[in-house]
Amino acid sequence: MANLLTGREAITKLQEGNKRFTEDKRVHPHQGVDRRLEVMKGQTPFAAILGCSDSRVPLKIIFDQGIGDLFVVRVAGNVVDDIVLASIEYAAEHLNVPLIVVLGHQNCGAVQAAVQGGHAPGHIPALMDALQPALEEARTQAGDDLVEKAVRANVRLTADAIRNSSLLSQLTRDGRVEVVGAYYSLETGRVDFL
Q: How many secondary structure helices (H) and strands (E) does the chain include? A: 8, 5
Q: Which of residues 106-135 bind Zn ion (CB under 5 A)?
A: 108, 110
52 binding Zn ion? (CB under 5 A): yes
Q: Which C-beta is closer to Zn ion: that of 40 or that of 186?
A: 186
DSSP state of 76: G
Among 21, 49, 51, 54, binds Zn ion (CB under 5 A): 54
Q: Which residues face 177 on adjacent strands?
A: none
Of the listed pieces 29-37, 104-112, 114-122, 179-187, which binds Zn ion according to CB under 5 A?
Answer: 104-112
Shortest Å distance, C-beta 175 to Zn ion: 31
Number of residues that bind Zn ion (CB under 5 A): 4
Q: Which C-beta is closer to Zn ion: that of 147 or that of 171?
A: 147
CA angle 85, 28, 94 (to 5 degrees): 25
| Host H or E run for residue 110 | helix 109-116
Q: Which C-beta is closer to Zn ion: that of 85 or that of 108?
A: 108
How many CA atoms, within 13 angstroms, populate the side-chain half-sphere of residue 59? 23
DSSP state of 121: -
85 binding Zn ion? (CB under 5 A): no
Q: Which of residues 131-160 bind Zn ion (CB under 5 A)?
A: none
Best CA proximity match to 165, nearest among 104, 97, 70, 85: 85
Q: What number of other Cβ atoms are within 10 A of residue 24's Cβ?
A: 7
Q: Which C-beta is closer to Zn ion: that of 156 or that of 176?
A: 156
- Please report, as ranges, the residues that interact with Zn ion according to CB under 5 A: 52, 54, 108, 110
